[in-house]
Amino acid sequence: MPTPSQPPGTERVLSSNADFQVAARVLGNWLFVLLRGHYDDRLLTALRTQVFTQRMSLAIDVSGLTGITTTLARELYLTAGRMKSTKFRLALVNPNEKVLSLISLLAPGARLPSFAAPEELPPDPLQMERQLERADKEREQIRAGLRANPLWQHVDREGHWLCPFCAKTVDQVRLTARLSVPAPTIEAIYGHLHAQCDGYDPDAPQPKTARDLEAALKAINEEKLKTARSFATALETKVRVLEDKAQWAQSFEQGLKIAVDRQKRLLPAKPPDIPGCDVALVYRPAQSVSGDFYDFIDMGQGRVGLAIGDVAGHGIEAGILMGMTKKVLSIRAHELGDAAAALCRANADVYGDLDRRTFVTAFLGVYDPAARVLTYARAGHNPPLLFNRDRAPSVQKLDTGGLMLGMSQSALFDRTMKSEAVQMLSGDVVLLYTDGLEEAKNAQGEQFGLDRFTKVLEAQWGKPACNIVGALSLALDTFCGSVAQEDDVTVICLKVL
């Protein structure tokens, strides 16, 4: 168990099981606690016995935890309140919007001290109170500005807030009702002003003039309208944006920030509700721009398309090709309603725009909830796993053949493309994943491999889909340890109830 005498930076596991892990390391006067995996009520017991009994200030990071509930938020909030009567304090590190929203529901104005990274923790936890008082005043100034100051009330054509100090839009902030602004929105604005804005001075804030802001907003809206029109035109012409390589490179270099900021909005924020199914996903890009993609597509007649893919390579180029391929495949799948046909048309669409060193793997499954049938086709992608203890064998690969997108012209590609149909049973778990999961390495250079996440499926089979992906993420983090993630990791779990 960590103690104040433990060597700084040494991480130790305080509690661990198949669902979650509690680890900690000492950072100066703070005990930095990391929660990973999927939440259940046993985690509260671990916190109460292994963490809250420590005679140190606590900095808790829940960013690696799925399934966070009001129960956990209440426990953190009440513990922080009790610690105020001592010389120790409790703060959150890198909190996500969900945990902040749950805490804000507990009482009027309820919140916890929050820091973007452990490096931002004050050396003296008691100094945090003075910092928070100043931060509270700034938050109230932000709220007052949004309510009554016209300079704070500009939004672009998509509803994104325009910062009055740097005249840039903040994509994380959408203003829909200025008189009732939720706490997470205030936090996002506060974070922008202190971490990103190049025109904000907290000691002497001086906003730009109304004329300057209106001119900036006009330019932003024109640029976004131009970008939207360009994107629509590219789709209508089968995404032929790579004809002039030099112009393509220059254009996308100039639009890099837009590509990075908007890539997340290309991917669905959460799985759809599929009758008789439970669906969960994990998306962990290795860099700011990811080459992995996934999608849930309306195929008509109640059917849902499950798409996952991976662009060869990393970084900016892979991210751009990801967006293009994901959109083309979505359009073709919705248009044709058939997995194999959609992949064939998508290959024809992108083949001319890819050099022979660049390719895309993809899997497209079409699930019919009424018939409980999954029809799928695979373009060189990792074969998804079908797991059910009641099947023989219990683990099966959905490995019908097919070349990768962009490897060959239509004639050869179409001949190799096949589709298969699987009659799904209650308890079936289908795991779609990218190779970043299977090929993740630990410090010894070993790969995570199929055997390890097959064992997770075996152990978690009777639990909801979110438990399965949470346990899989925990197993991956435990295996890799401190080794940095080299490739994107995407997982979709479909469980038939």
Per CATH, which fold does 12-125 belong to?
Answer: Transcription Regulator spoIIAA (3.30.750)
Could you tell me the two tokens for 282? 């994990």
Could you tell me the two tokens for 382? 């990792």
Per-residue DSSP letters for 197-261?
Answer: -SS--TTS--PPPHHHHHHHHHHHHHHHHHHHHHHHHHHHTTT---SSHHHHHHHHHHTHHHHHH
| Nearest by Cα to 88 from 109, 59, 120, 117 | 59
The residue behind tokens 């220059």 is 250
Q: What pLDDT shows up at residue 207?
A: 93
CA–CA gap between residue 489 and residue 85 (Å, rounded): 43
Identify the CATH number of the domain defined by range 268-496. 3.60.40.10
Global confidence as pTM: 0.55
Q: What pLDDT shows up at residue 92?
A: 93
Contact 491, 282 (CB under 8 A): yes
Question: Are the folds of 12-125 and 268-496 the same?
Answer: no
| Nearest by Cα to 30 from 95, 103, 113 | 113
> Maximum Cα–Cα distance for the chain, whole Å?
74
Q: For the chain, what are the domain ranges?
A: 12-125, 131-210, 268-496
Q: What pLDDT shows up at residue 133?
A: 78
Q: What pLDDT shows up at residue 313?
A: 63
| Nearest by Cα to 174 from 159, 163, 164 | 159
Q: What pLDDT shows up at residue 230?
A: 73
Per-residue DSSP letters for 263-296?
Answer: HHHHS-SSPPP-TTEEEEEEEE-SSSS-SEEEEE
Question: pLDDT tens track of the chain, all 497 residues?
Answer: 444 444 556 889 999 988 899 999 999 999 999 999 888 889 999 999 999 999 999 999 998 888 888 899 999 999 999 998 999 999 999 887 788 888 888 877 788 888 878 888 889 998 877 777 788 888 889 899 988 899 999 998 888 899 999 999 998 888 776 677 887 788 889 889 988 899 999 888 899 999 999 999 999 888 887 876 776 576 556 545 444 554 555 554 555 545 545 555 678 878 999 999 999 999 887 765 667 899 999 988 899 999 999 987 666 666 777 878 888 999 999 999 999 999 999 999 888 777 666 788 999 999 999 999 999 999 999 999 999 999 999 999 998 888 999 888 888 899 999 999 999 999 999 999 998 899 899 888 899 998 998 999 999 999 999 999 999 999 999 999 888 877 888 999 999 99
Q: What pLDDT shows up at residue 115?
A: 84
Q: What pLDDT shows up at residue 31?
A: 95
CA–CA gap between residue 47 and residue 40 (Å, rounded): 12
| Nearest by Cα to 23 from 101, 103, 116, 118 | 118
